[in-house]
Structure 1
Amino acid sequence: MSHPAPPRTDNLTLAVRQAVADGLLGEDRPLAGFVDVQGVRESVAALHEAFAGVPDVLHAFSAKACPLVPVLRLLADAGMGCEVASPGELRVALDAGFAPSRIVLDSPAKTRRELEEALSLGIAVNADNLAELERIDALRPADCASVLGVRVNPQVGGGSIGAMSTATAHSKFGVALRDPGARERVVEAYARRPWLTRLHAHVGSQGCPLPLIARGLAALHRLAEEINARVGHRQVTSLDLGGGLPVNFADDCVTPTYAEYVAALTAVEPALLDGSYQLVTEFGRSLLAKNGFTAGLVEYVKESGGRRIALTHAGAQVATRTVFMPEDWPVRVSAYGPDGTPKTGPLVPHDIAGPLCFAGDVVAHERPLPELAEGDVVVLHDTGAYYFSAPWAYNSLPRPAVYGYLVRDGRAAFATVRPAQSVREISAESGLHRADALLTGFAVPSLR
């Protein structure tokens, strides 16, 4: 007899307790990230289910959200493709096992070498601008298998987080469609290049409401129809619906859902999802954020100016956006005892501070929590994307270990995704093997 899976918070609690029991969290391992493997699979399944009525769609995970090879391989196994935006992301995507035909390369500053590699492998490329198209003209082999397109900026406006809005009037991304003459130049570029068969747009994700995203992607559809009408046949056959979904960081509820995203697109432009075009999506944060958490040890607790401050090992190095933009990127914090069980008792306001040497390294201010003490554990929720997977190296702090976990029969089991970085590895990355380079490493110019 099957039983329904426990809620996400129940699995997290089991994982924290077991991680402490297994020695993955403690005095010698004061910080770690955790990925809920079953949760990831369920999120991917929800995405596929929402698009079940679309005949031809490639869901390409945005690698920047979690560029860890084992996580990417899990996503590939679950049926995802991969969107990459740098040589490093392309390398990890290939190493994770994504077929080149299921990889999409987006970047506003691709070098000729990057383009040449992608075109030789048959990786899809979205040119960021018309000058990049000229490079592709020169580099594209006659037998090129890459699907090629252009990124356009529909200039529909920004959401509540300017830094995350990519369809503003002055966005650095894509060809700005509303600038004088730009739309005609894009149409002409397609008319001159029959191998251009895809259009791409990206409105944004966090802070961007669904109606704004839908308006931008509807504009993409209208441009595709215009191009096809101009050339007299269906040259543009696929639309890359870039961008993601905003994530609810306030509680465990998943909102908006992929089904709501599909409904919003359909409401604005029903033909967008009717099968006339192959679709590509590029979700990242919405697939991983709620399927990961960060756990850090409380090293000290002290009072300052009447404020209770918990000094932990989870700071700006793993929660960079939260520390520098706390209004836009708040995180929930939970308190656990040294044995990994949830703390109870009267709530006391705490500042949850990190270990970095600057005063602003605080991930939560005056957060009501059961009274914390040395040896306790704090959990930062919804950090499966962009947090522990892309740490900041300030103060030469080591990258934390990352573990995947599965809960079966009331017990969590772990697999190492990335081991914690050692201090010797930090030194090696910092030029250890060239320690004398600035003393003896200069060639003496010959005298003539």
Structure 2
Amino acid sequence: MKDLWGAAITDSGRTTRTPSEARGRAAAGPPVAVRSPVVRFDAAVRAAVGQGLLSETRPVAGFIDTDGVRASVAALREAFAHSPGVLHTFAAKASSLVPVLRLLADCGMGCEVASPGELRLAVDAGFAPGAIVLDSPAKTREEIRLALALGVAVNADSIDELLRIDALRNRDSPSVLGLRVNPQVGGGAIGPMSTATDTSKFGVALRDPGARETVVRAFGERPWLTRLHAHVGSQGCPLELIAAGVAQTYELAEEINERLGTRQVASLDIGGGLPVNFTGDTVRPTYAAYVDALTAAAPGLFSGRYALVTEFGRSLLAKNGFIGARVEYTKDAGGRRIALTHAGAQTATRTVFMPESWPLRVGAFAPDGSPKPGPVLAQDIAGPCCFAGDVVAHGRELPELAEGDFVVLYDTGAYYFSTPWAYNSLPRPAVYGFRATGPGGEVTFATVRDAQTLDAIATESGLGHADALTGLGGG
């Protein structure tokens, strides 16, 4: 693969529920109750402190529960078990870390990617090209050319992109090719996470004048175009809205095949987007409830008439990870207690800027890593970034924090520590996977990503070109 990339390519447990228990009761079913995060993760926090993974010199790190990840994948598979021909892909943007992607590949997942970088990571992680799906609203010709050469599935985001594929496609390419449509079924509670609004930048807007006929004609002119893709949104989008978008896509596939007189559309990529409950311990909605909603909205979806592709990300990992951070200082200001920690906007960007949409639960731990006892006090949990709004939790009732204590941000296994923000040139935190092993529940860690060094920060900031601007002369 060297010619394609220009460089050589190298080839306490979270829960005790079984896959069938994770699926929940038939129909909508109740949420799947899991143990409190403190109970699930307190052994890992204590072990991380004991082994020096969290300390004064290592003040922040991310942690991933590998048993929890495997259980979430099992629950997803169980929910779709009655449907033949389903490829479950993981949205790489939710955790763009090669060891995490390789774990998911080992679980039998495929991978959905949305950039050349994510495609490279997916290949490095070991996903077969045929199990990788490329989605992006701004694919370059080079990106399309590479995907087709690898045999990666590609969902075109527009008619103009189909014209590019016309020019670049080799008829011998094994890539499955599809077209993304926007069913325009509306938005959820978080506007930026809603991708099926009237003016969404994604896909071909089906309800715009003439658009539906344009899509049918595009398929008629391209016998190799065999997949329809839609993704309604994620956090803040109710199941009924997501299911309505999938149903619209299913009906369009039926219309295309009927009008063309052949079953040209052979597969449907129904996206992902299952919301996560950030306010409590229960897993809701469940994958089983999602399948029930899809069945109600599009009864023929699981008949086997179409192969299916899913693209879940946050729902697989969020509750299987946490951020641990040391308390550096505490202070009082205007009658408010503030704990200054090393977990702020650089690791919890969405929560800092949209706290009502992305709330996080916080746990308090003593310097030895044990859950901190004592009476509670309303406290702000602030981060290290140099702007006033860098607060991850406001007025939380927690045991009084002090220097040397640790806080834990729960439900951060997706997006948070895996894709940090480089504000203030703060180093990327280390990330560790863990699982409970042995009869005594000992916790074993494995390094997923080393903490970024100051040398690496300087290199990324142009150290090797330090004299470039002064060398231009002037002044």
What TM bracket, shorter-length normalisation?
over 0.9
**How far apart are residue 345 of structure 1 and its match?**
1.1
Q: Distance in 2 between matches of 1:251 and 1:243?
A: 22
Number of corresponding residues: 440
Q: 1:445 corresponds to which residue?
A: none
Q: Distance in 2 between matches of 1:85 and 1:111?
A: 12
Q: 1:438 corresponds to which residue?
A: 469
The counterpart of 2:60, out of the listed 31, 56, 59, is: 31
Q: 2:30 corresponds to which residue?
A: none
1:57-91 alpha-carbon deviations (Å, 9 max, x no partner): 00010000000000000000001000000000000
Fraction of identical pairs, as percent:
70
Conserved? CA contact 1:337–1:343, under 8 Å:
yes
Q: 2:44 corresponds to which residue?
A: 15
Conserved? CA contact 1:240–1:279, under 8 Å:
yes
The amino acid of 2:45's aligned partner reads V
3-state SS, counterpart of residue 297 of structure 1: strand
1:406-440 alpha-carbon deviations (Å, 9 max, x no partner): 01232111000000000110000001111111122
**How far apart are residue 149 of structure 1 and its match?**
0.5
Q: Distance in 1 between matches of 2:106 and 2:208?
A: 42
Conserved? CA contact 1:166–1:202, under 8 Å:
yes
1:275 equivalenced with 2:304 (yes/no)? yes
More deviation, 152-161/429-438: 429-438
Q: 2:373 corresponds to which residue?
A: 344
The counterpart of 2:410, out of the listed 352, 369, 381, is: 381
1:390 equivalenced with 2:419 (yes/no)? yes
The counterpart of 2:444, out of the listed 413, 416, 420, is: 413
3-state SS, counterpart of residue 242 of structure 1: coil
1:262 equivalenced with 2:291 (yes/no)? yes
Q: Distance in 2 between matches of 1:91 and 1:58?
A: 20
The amino acid of 1:418's aligned partner reads R
The amino acid of 1:136's aligned partner reads I
The counterpart of 1:114, out of the listed 128, 143, 151, is: 143
The two structures have a TM-score, normalised by structure 1, of: 0.97
Q: Distance in 2 between matches of 1:332 and 1:118?
A: 40
The structure-2 alpha-carbon separation of the partners of 1:178 and 1:404, relative to structure 1 and needing over 3 Å to count, comes to same
1:368-416 alpha-carbon deviations (Å, 9 max, x no partner): 0000000000000000000000000000000000000001232111000
The amino acid of 1:367's aligned partner reads R
1:196 equivalenced with 2:225 (yes/no)? yes
Q: Distance in 2 between matches of 1:41 and 1:283?
A: 14
**How far apart are residue 244 of structure 1 and its match?**
1.6
**How far apart are residue 353 of structure 1 and its match?**
0.3
For 1:126-141, list aligned pairs within 5 A: 126-141=155-170
For 1:214-229, list aligned pairs within 5 A: 214-229=243-258
Q: 1:423 corresponds to which residue?
A: 454
Q: 1:247 corresponds to which residue?
A: 276
The counterpart of 2:345, out of the listed 308, 313, 316, is: 316
Q: Distance in 2 between matches of 1:244 and 1:60?
A: 12
The two structures have a TM-score, normalised by structure 2, of: 0.91
Conserved? CA contact 1:63–1:84, under 8 Å:
yes
Q: Distance in 2 between matches of 1:130 and 1:322?
A: 36
The amino acid of 2:77's aligned partner reads H
1:45 equivalenced with 2:74 (yes/no)? yes
Q: Distance in 2 between matches of 1:176 and 1:388?
A: 34
1:17-71 alpha-carbon deviations (Å, 9 max, x no partner): 0000000001000000000000000000000000000110000100000000000
The amino acid of 2:465's aligned partner reads R
The amino acid of 1:223's aligned partner reads L
Q: Distance in 1 between matches of 2:56 and 2:357?
A: 32
For 1:51-70, list aligned pairs within 5 A: 51-70=80-99
3-state SS, counterpart of residue 205 of structure 1: coil
The amino acid of 1:439's aligned partner reads T
- Runs of 4+ off more than 3 Å: 3-8
Q: Distance in 1 between matches of 2:277 and 2:257?
A: 39
**How far apart are residue 8 of structure 1 and its match?**
6.2
The amino acid of 1:295's aligned partner reads G
Q: Distance in 1 between matches of 2:199 and 2:373?
A: 49
Q: Distance in 1 between matches of 2:347 and 2:329?
A: 19
Q: Distance in 2 between matches of 1:333 and 1:274?
A: 44
For 1:345-360, list aligned pairs within 5 A: 345-360=374-389
**How far apart are residue 269 of structure 1 and its match?**
1.0
The amino acid of 1:348's aligned partner reads L
Q: Distance in 2 between matches of 1:327 and 1:141?
A: 48
Q: 2:240 corresponds to which residue?
A: 211
Conserved? CA contact 2:270–2:309, under 8 Å:
yes
1:221-245 alpha-carbon deviations (Å, 9 max, x no partner): 0000000011101000000011320
Q: Distance in 2 between matches of 1:272 and 1:181?
A: 26
3-state SS, counterpart of residue 315 of structure 2: helix
Conserved? CA contact 2:35–2:281, under 8 Å:
no
Conserved? CA contact 1:11–1:407, under 8 Å:
no
Q: Distance in 2 between matches of 1:328 and 1:250?
A: 11
Q: 2:121 corresponds to which residue?
A: 92
**How far apart are residue 307 of structure 1 and its match?**
0.1
3-state SS, counterpart of residue 356 of structure 1: coil
1:181 equivalenced with 2:189 (yes/no)? no
Q: Distance in 1 between matches of 2:36 and 2:203?
A: 38
**How far apart are residue 248 of structure 1 and its match?**
0.2
1:304-328 alpha-carbon deviations (Å, 9 max, x no partner): 0000000000000000000000000
Unaligned runs of 5+ in 2: 1-14, 18-33
For 1:297-312, list aligned pairs within 5 A: 297-312=326-341
Q: Distance in 1 between matches of 2:169 and 2:229?
A: 19
The amino acid of 2:333's aligned partner reads S
